[in-house]
Structures are given as C-alpha cells and as structure tokens.
Amino acid sequence: MEPVIIVLIILVVLVFIALIKTIQVIPQASAAIVERFGRYTRTLNAGLNIVVPFIDTIRNRIDLREQVVPFPPQPVITQDNLVVNIDTVIYYQVTDARAATYEVASYIQAIEQLTVTTLRNIIGGMDLERTLTSREEINAALRGVLDEATGKWGIRVNRVELKAIEPPTSIQDSMEKQMRADRDKRAAILQAEGVRQSEILRAEGEKQSQILRAEGEAKAAALRAEGEAQAVRTVFEAIHAGDPDQKLLSYQYLQMLPKIAEGDANKLWIVPSEIGDALKGLSGAMGNFAPNAGGSGSSGNSGTAPERREKPSID
C-alpha cells in the first residue's frame, strides 16, 4: 500500500504544479511574452490567461506604463570649445512588448547611449550662450531623434527634459560678474531716471507756483488799483456833493504843508501858486494873518509858476 500512496501523492503534486503553470494572471498595464520550445508564440495581456504547462514558458514580463529614467551628467563640448555637463531625463513608454523583447537586447541602455550621442551632436552646433537659452529647442530636437530611432524597438519617447546645464567654474564666475555688472548698470540708469524725473517735476512745480503767484499779484494789484480808484471817485463825489468854499480849501492846503516838508532828505520843496490864493482867502476869514496873507498874495500874483524855497535846516 505504501508505494501506491507515494504514487498518488506524486500525481497530486504534478497536477497542482500543472495547474499553477497553466493559469497565468497578468496585472493591469502589463504584458507577458510566451515562448513555446524557445520560439515566440503570443503576448499575454492583462487578466486570466491559459497556457500549456511544461511546453509554454513566460519569457519576459513588461510594464506598459510610462517610465521615467534619469541619466547621469554627460560632458558635452559646445561649438566654442567649452565643456558643459548636461543632466537629462527621458519619459518613455513600451508600446510593443514583442519588439521591446526581441528587437533590442536592453532598450534602457540603448536609449541612454542614443541620448548621449544625439545630445553631443546637437550641442556641438551651438555656442554656450545659445545652449543655455535654447532648452526647448534642444528638447524638441532630441525627442525627434529618439522617437524615430526607438520606434522599431516598440518604444515611444514622450518627453525629453534637460535637468541642468553646468558650464565650467571659470565661466560661471565670469557670467556672475557680467550679470552683477548689468544689474548695477540698470540700477544706475533707473536712479538717474528717477533723479531726472524728480527734477523735472520740481521745475514744473516751481514754474506753476510762480505763474500762480504772478497771477495772484496781478489780480491783487488790479483789485488794489480798482479800490483806490473807487476811493478817489468816492472822495471826489463827496467833495462835489459838499460844495466846499474857498475857506475850507485854504485850510486843507495848510494841513498838507507839513506832509510836503516831511523827510530829512527834502532840502528843496515847491509851493504851488494856488497856496497864495488859499492864504488870501484864509486871511479874509482870520484877520490875524492879514499881513502874511498880503505878502503871500503879492508873491502869488507875481505869476502862475511855483516858487522854489529852501527848506530850513532841521539842525
């Protein structure tokens, strides 16, 4: 009985192994290459798949999702003979699992080497300044070459990005000095423009202030002259309305004489001939000044021209 039990156990184990090898579960976004006696037969897609045990074998399981592969910095010589280190990142996706398995031994290594050679070819036709400012152009050219070359491998290159472009240290120092000089220059220009604008605004403000001040003074002078004219007209009208006689006018003449003689610099002053007539009229009203009035009257009758008299010294 023992040999029969052993045989049964062996058969159960073989059946279990056969079932495991027969049923193949492929995850989503994955594919598997099936070979029969070393020859490609089919590609298993996602889901439950049945294969012939011990005859069909799974050669390779491939992830169909988009992959990201960073490559280490690569030294590249520019057109002006400067060595720059460039880091690249490749975004690719396997579209044909069979081609990716049988058309190329290692598509990752192949993409890396193709990227390096293409990058050196593109950068070799550019100078350093253009290399630093033409990332989009480099990415587009690199992607076009890679996509065309990897198409027969069953791989589609979706994007190519340059992570960093590092020029030599001496060039970096020179670029930093140049950038600092440019910033200082722009700052000086902006400061000069600010000072110039400030001076222009200040000059315009002063000009406007002078114009307004002049206009104000002109209006004030006009108003002052108008007020004085109005005062003269009022006095003139009041005098004529009051109908003054000769005595009042003579008295007013006498009141104006001290004002005419005011000031230390007035050594010579003029007495109008009308004062004689005023004194004559005043002498008629005040008998005490008759002799003086007569003298003045005689001098006043001598002519209409004003008399010049020396002002008595104050000393």
Counting every residue written for the chain, the total comes to: 315
Each residue's pLDDT tens digit, 6-36: 877 888 888 788 778 888 888 998 999 999 9
pLDDT band at 274 (very low <50, low <70, confident <90, very high): low
Predicted confidence (pLDDT) per residue in 110-168, tens digit: 999 999 999 989 888 888 888 888 888 888 888 888 888 898 999 999 888 888 888 87
Looking at residue 187, what is its pLDDT? 87
pLDDT of residue 174: 75
Question: Phi/psi of residue 173, each to 5°?
Answer: -65, -45
Which pLDDT belongs to residue 94? 93
* Residue 291 pLDDT greater than 50, yes or no: no
More confident residue, 48 or 259: 48
Distance of alpha carbon 102 from alpha carbon 85, whole angstroms: 34
On average, the pLDDT of the chain sits at: 78
What pLDDT does residue 279 have? 58
Question: Residue 289 belongs to what H/E stretch?
Answer: none
Strands 39-44 and 67-77: unpaired
- Report the percentage of the chain scoring pLDDT > 70: 75
Q: Report which secondary-structure segment, H or E, holds 135.
A: helix 135-150
| Nearest-angstrom CA–CA distance, 203 and 301 | 66
Q: Is the pLDDT reported for residue 91 higher than 50?
A: yes
Q: Sorting pLDDT into bands at 50, 70 and 90, what band is 54?
A: confident
Beta bridge partners of 309: 269
The least confident of 91-105, 174-188, 262-276 is 262-276
pLDDT band at 313 (very low <50, low <70, confident <90, very high): very low
Name residues whose C-beta falls within 8 Å of residue 172's C-beta, 6 or more positions apart in sequence: 166
Q: What is the mean pLDDT of residues 216-237?
A: 82
